[in-house]
Structures are given as C-alpha cells and as structure tokens.
C-alpha cells in the first residue's frame, strides 16, 4: 500500500467536526430528558430562567474544553490536563480522576434508569419493575464491553440527528398547543415571573443545579485522540455546534414541559416528562418516537459513561495510582474486564441505594461533575499563565473558573448528601490511589536496583559502573563533582574539566540514566548503545584535560530522582546538568526532571544548569 493510500486510510478513521459533535451531543444532549424534571423538583418554574443565566458560563467552559483537546491530543481529559498543568503535584491527577469517576458512576446510573423509565411509559404497570430491568441493562452492557463492542461514531451521529429531529417536533407541537390554547403570553409570564419570590439564595441554588445539563463536556476531551488534525479546529467547530444546540433547545423545551404539563404529571411522573409532553401535544406517534429516541440515546450515554470510566481506571493504573489488575486484559477478548465489571456494578449499587429516584440521583450527581470542571478549568488557567497568555482570554477564563467553583461550593452547601457521597467516595479513591502509588514506587525502586545489579555482570557493562560499584570504588577513587549528561556537551565537559583541575582534583563522576517509564522491566536489562557511546566519548573528552571520568550508568523510571540518589550516596558537592538543543532542557523546563533533582538533592550539594 502506498504512503498516500495509507494516509488516506488513517484519515478515514479520524473523526471530523460533524462526528465529534455527534459524539459529544449524544452524551450532553441526553440531559434534556431528565434535567427539566430535576430542576423543577428543586426550584420549580425558575428552571428555565436558571438555564438562561448559566448559558454564558457554559459557553466559556465549553471553549476551554476545545483548548484541552488541543493541549491533550491523545485524550485523557481531566487526568491529562491536570497532570500537564500541575506537574509538581503528582497526586492532583488522581483527584481529578476520582472526581470524573464519581461523575461517570452517576452518569451511568441516571442515564440507564432514565432510559428504562421512558420505555416503561409504553407498558402499563412496568414502572415497578424499572430497577430489575435496569439491572439487566447493566449486565448486558457489561457483557458487550467485555466482548468488545465497537461503537461507531457514524451510528451515534444518526441517533443524535434523531434526537434533534424529535426536539424540533416537540417544540413545534408545543408551539401549536400553546397557540390553540392562547397561552403564549401566559408562558412568558410563567418563565420570568413564576409567582415565587426571587431571591439571591434561590437564584444561586438554580444556578448550581443547572450544571447537571452540561455533564457531557468531558466526553469531548476523551475523544481528542480520534479527531482530525488540526485538533483545535475540529474541536472548535464541533463545540460551537454543541453550544448552539444546547442554548437553543434546552431552555424552551424546559419551559414547555413545565408550563404545559399539569402539576400531577410533573410531581407524579417526573422521570419521563418529555414523553408525557410528546403524548399530550403530539399524540401517540410523537410520544412513541420520543420514547424510542430518549431510551436509545440514554442507553448509549450510559454505555459511554461505562467506557469512559474504565478508560480512566486504566489510565490511573498506568500512572501507578490504581492496582495493575484494573488494566488486566481478558485472555480471549483483550478488554480490561475487571475494570469494566466495576464500572457497571457500582452505578447499579447507587441505583439500589437511591431506590431508582431521579431526584435523589440528581442530588448526588453534581459533586463529581463540578469538581471535574473546576479542576480542568483551573488547569487551563495555569497553562495559559505559564505560556505568557494575558489579557481578556486569561481573565475571562479565570472568571469561568471562579464561576464554576462557586457552583460547586453552592452545591456542597445546598446538597450535603452529594458532598457526603461524592466526597467520601473520592476521598477513598484518593487514599487508596496514593497508598498504592507509594507501594508501587517502593517496588519499582527495588526492581530498578535489582536490574542495575544484574546488568553489572553483562558484557555491555564492562566499561561502566553501576551505582553500587561506584560506591565500592569510592574508597579508592572518588570525586566531588558529578556531571549528568544525555549527550556529549563539549562546553559543559570542558568547563568542568578546567574547574576540577583548578581545584587540584583529578576525578569527576559522569552519569547517564536510561529511562524506562512504567514499573516493569525486561528480564535482561543492560546499558543501551547510546549510554555506552555517550559515556565513553564524555570520559575521553575529560581525559584530554587530564581528568579521569568515572562513568556511572543507571536505569530508572525518573532520571531526576536517579541522579539525586547517586549524588547523595556518593557524597558529591556539585551536580552539573547541561542543557540540550534537542529535548533534555525542554523537559527540564517543563519541570519533570529539574524539580525532582532539585528537591531530592541534599542541602550541602549544589545544582548548576549549564547552557
């Protein structure tokens, strides 16, 4: 196959802006089927007004997610953007992962049971069996994901188009109903003058609760790895369509449902308001079409949340925050079956705990969602500041972070049960994650130390020393200076040779670290050809100035920590690191190696960067 044909094939498997819109809208758009009821049960007829007030902040946070897609083109959402922005706080991605996991649990639960509630409207007496039917749904989705269901963005786009069509039909049927009943002016008065006293407290509660309608934003960041290049343009077009669809459809459909439906329906059957609205304004044809559309999309949203959840679990396991068994693959199907089972079982337990109450699930919903949005928004602000971005873009983004954080705090105060449930679950996940990470680091340290000891006996290591060998040799030949290198930096080596010679010493440690990301090493680890070549050339250059270079080779997950450990055990006074025109200095400026090295060195040892 030619290169051109291969590139076309690769592009054909990427998501264009239309399909990205379909994927995101299929997730976020499903909120229209349950959010109006949750808002009505919370703040009554103010639901529509609250949605209008929140729209501006929603637009800003949606635009921030475009930037997240651009900055994290491999996906990962909140975990990736937080890790990138707060590299000096390695535990913070775990917090973000915990928040989004809580959100996914509640998204799965509320989407799954809402879909079953809508189906139950077609079968009299079926409502009492909703919880068992939902259990069967989760079992089916678990099996499908373990076997390896292949979701198609094209299929998703068809259902998104069906959902938009149904929404148009609902709005049209509602408009006809209002016209026939001469109720347009009354509708306007009902939305903006709802007969209840407007207060700051009521508006704040409505503002915080309305964020339930925007729970699908994270799905955009999760699919960024599948977007057509340039990712920023693809994500931007898709997100603008999402913004327009939500802003145009959500407030009027909420207003129509709340005003047209009688109170006994809104209070007695809040789980399926849209189907009730469809049957009342458009008869059986529109009602059945709405039920089919709602249940299908809600089931897809439920499955999307399960998929997103186990992907987050696997990603956290890759970072060492979750046990390795969560990424263990099924021997036949190749899917992370244990993570899939947990991602489906916990939402079902939540449904049992809340007895399938949409209102109770809504109360628990917002903690993880708003926590995720707050962390993601703050991460973008930090990256913008680090990149020197100021002006309206930065300050507008900062205002968005403050606004989302305010919604999160209001939700905690107004719904303490959400704080209790989400906070305890997130805290347990963070505690277990940190504990596992610490234990994994200990095991990794032992593993790398054993690998170095074993490599000392290999023929390739005959011209270099491991740290253990360098410590033993220190009784005869030691040095006060350690030079950390990734390539032969002539300026660094020449200056250090002259410095050592001027101090009346004749030796200098030269250290090279082979990095091996992850916690598992190959059975036969040995110095790489690059390590041997660079150490050999560096020591030869020092020899031209009559300085003996003592070559030390190490293998580690993190180069900064490995150099710091060597400097500490060898009791050197100065560590020198050379900048590179290729990638080493760039990585240090990003904070990963330099911060580790600087924080780990003893106080009596100085660190100098040589450009």
Q: Give how far Cα 108 sits from Cα of 16, 113, 345, 348, 349, Å.
A: 26, 8, 10, 8, 11
Q: How far apart are CA 329 and CA 391, in angstroms?
A: 48
Q: What local confidence, expressed as pLDDT, does residue 245 receive?
A: 85
Q: What local confidence, expressed as pLDDT, does residue 265 receive?
A: 75
Q: What local confidence, expressed as pLDDT, does residue 9 receive?
A: 39
Candidates 104, 45, 419, 370; CA nearest to 212 is 370
What lies within 8 Å, CB to CB, of 408 at 6+ separation is 208, 366, 367, 370, 371, 373, 374
What lies within 8 Å, CB to CB, of 328 at 6+ separation is 336, 337, 338
> Ramachandran region of residue 214, left (φ > 0), alpha (ψ -120 to 50) or beta?
alpha
Q: For 15, which DSSP code?
A: B
Q: What local confidence, expressed as pLDDT, does residue 129 receive?
A: 84
Q: What local confidence, expressed as pLDDT, does residue 102 receive?
A: 81
Q: How far apart are CA 299 and CA 144, in angstroms?
A: 13
Supply 585's token pair: 């200095």
Residues in the chain: 611
Return averaged pLDDT per consecutive 10 residues of the chain, 611 residues in all.
41 68 76 78 77 86 89 77 80 82 83 86 79 88 74 63 82 82 57 55 78 75 77 88 85 83 74 83 87 84 79 71 72 78 87 81 78 90 88 90 90 80 80 73 60 73 85 84 86 86 88 68 69 91 91 82 86 79 43 63 76 59
Sign of dihedral through CA atoms 383, 389, 393, 399?
A: positive
Candidates 519, 496, 517; CA nearest to 576 is 496
Q: What angle do CA 61, 115, 269 make, to 5 degrees?
A: 100
Q: What local confidence, expressed as pLDDT, does residue 550 receive?
A: 92
Q: What local confidence, expressed as pLDDT, does residue 399 receive?
A: 93
CB crowding 313-345: b at 16 or more within 10 Å, else e: bbbbbbbbbbbeebbeeeeeeebbbbbbebbbe
Q: What angle do CA 458, 555, 472 make, to 5 degrees?
A: 65
Sign of dihedral through CA atoms 221, 347, 121, 208?
A: negative
Sign of dihedral through CA atoms 47, 52, 57, 61?
A: positive
Candidates 245, 194, 180, 254; CA nearest to 216 is 245
Supply 599's token pair: 């924080």
Q: How far apart are CA 507 and CA 547, in angstroms?
A: 6
Candidates 570, 102, 611; CA nearest to 373 is 102
Q: What local confidence, expressed as pLDDT, does residue 7 receive?
A: 42
Instruction: State the pTM of this model.
Output: 0.65
The edge-to-edge listing of strands for the beta sheet with 481-484 is: 548-556, 507-515, 481-484, 574-578, 606-610
Instruction: Calculate the CA 330 to chain-centre distance.
Output: 24
Q: Are 367 and 405 in contact (CB under 8 A)?
A: no
Sign of dihedral through CA atoms 164, 166, 169, 173?
A: negative
Q: Are 534 and 512 in contact (CB under 8 A)?
A: yes
Q: How many Å from the N-terminal Cα to the C-terminal Cα in the chain? A: 46
Q: What local confidence, expressed as pLDDT, does residue 381 receive?
A: 92
Q: Give how far Cα 27 sits from Cα of 24, 33, 298, 418, 421, Å.
A: 5, 11, 8, 22, 24
């Amino acid at each position: 196959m030619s290169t051109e044909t291969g590139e076309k094939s690769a592009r054909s498997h990427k998501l264009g802006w239309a399909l990205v819109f379909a994927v995101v809208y299929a997730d976020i758009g499903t909120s229209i089927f349950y959010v109006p009821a949750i808002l009505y049960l919370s703040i009554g007829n103010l639901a529509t007004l609250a949605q209008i007030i929140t729209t501006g902040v929603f637009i800003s946070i949606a635009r921030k997610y475009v930037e997240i897609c651009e900055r994290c083109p491999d996906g990962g959402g909140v975990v990736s953007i937080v890790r990138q922005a707060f590299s000096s706080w390695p535990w913070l991605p775990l917090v973000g992962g915990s928040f989004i996991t809580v959100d996914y649990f509640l998204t799965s639960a509320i989407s799954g049971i809402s879909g079953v509630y809508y189906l139950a409207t077609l079968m009299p007496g079926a409502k009492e069996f909703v919880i068992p039917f939902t259990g069967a749904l989760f079992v089916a989705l678990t099996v499908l994901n373990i076997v390896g269901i292949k979701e198609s963005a094209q299929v998703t786009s068809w259902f998104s188009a069906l959902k938009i069509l149904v929404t148009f039909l609902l709005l049209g049927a509602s408009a006809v109903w209002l016209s026939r009943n001469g109720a347009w002016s009354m509708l306007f008065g009902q939305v903006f003058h709802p007969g209840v006293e407007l207060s700051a407290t009521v508006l704040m509660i409505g503002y915080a609760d309305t964020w339930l309608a925007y729970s699908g934003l994270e799905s955009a960041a999760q699919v960024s790895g599948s977007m057509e290049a340039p990712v920023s343009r693809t994500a931007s077009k898709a997100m603008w369509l999402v913004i327009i669809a939500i802003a145009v459809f959500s407030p009027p459909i909420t207003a129509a449902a709340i005003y047209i439906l009688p109170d006994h329906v809104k209070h007695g059957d809040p789980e399926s308001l849209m189907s009730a609205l469809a049957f009342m304004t458009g008869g059986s044809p529109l009602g059945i079409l709405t039920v089919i559309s709602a249940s299908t999309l809600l089931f897809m949203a439920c499955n999307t949340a399960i998929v997103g959840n186990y992907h987050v679990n696997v990603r956290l396991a890759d970072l060492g925050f979750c046990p390795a068994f969560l990424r263990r693959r099924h021997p036949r199907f190749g899917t992370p079956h244990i993570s899939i089972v947990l991602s489906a079982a916990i939402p079902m337990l939540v449904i049992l705990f809340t007895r399938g109450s949409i209102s109770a699930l809504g109360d628990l919903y917002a903690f993880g969602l708003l926590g995720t949005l707050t962390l993601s928004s703050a991460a973008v602000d930090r990256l913008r500041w680090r990149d020197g971005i100021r002006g309206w873009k930065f300050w507008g983004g900062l205002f968005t972070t403050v606004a989302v954080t305010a919604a999160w705090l209001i939700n905690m105060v107004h719904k303490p049960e959400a704080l209790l449930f989400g906070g305890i679950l997130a805290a347990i996940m963070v505690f277990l994650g940190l504990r596992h990470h610490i234990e994994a680091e200990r095991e990794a340290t032992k593993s790398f130390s054993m690998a170095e000891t074993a490599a000392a006996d290999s023929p390739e290591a005959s011209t270099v020393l491991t740290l253990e060998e360098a410590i033993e040799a220190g009784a005869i030949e030691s040095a006060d200076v350690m030079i950390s290198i990734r390539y032969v930096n002539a300026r660094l080596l020449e200056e250090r040779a002259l410095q050592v010679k001027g101090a009346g010493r004749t030796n200098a440690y030269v250290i090279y670290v082979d990095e091996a990301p992850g916690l598992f090493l190959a059975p036969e680890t040995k110095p790489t050809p690059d390590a041997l070549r660079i150490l050999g050339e560096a020591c030869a250059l020092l020899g031209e100035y009559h300085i003996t270079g003592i070559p030390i080779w190490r293998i580690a997950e993190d180069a900064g920590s490995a150099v710091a450990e060597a400097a500490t055990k060898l009791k050197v006074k100065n560590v020198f690191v050379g900048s590179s025109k290729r990638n080493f200095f760039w990585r240090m400026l990003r904070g990963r190696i330099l911060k580790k090295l600087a924080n780990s060195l003893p106080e009596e040892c100085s660190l100098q960067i040589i450009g």
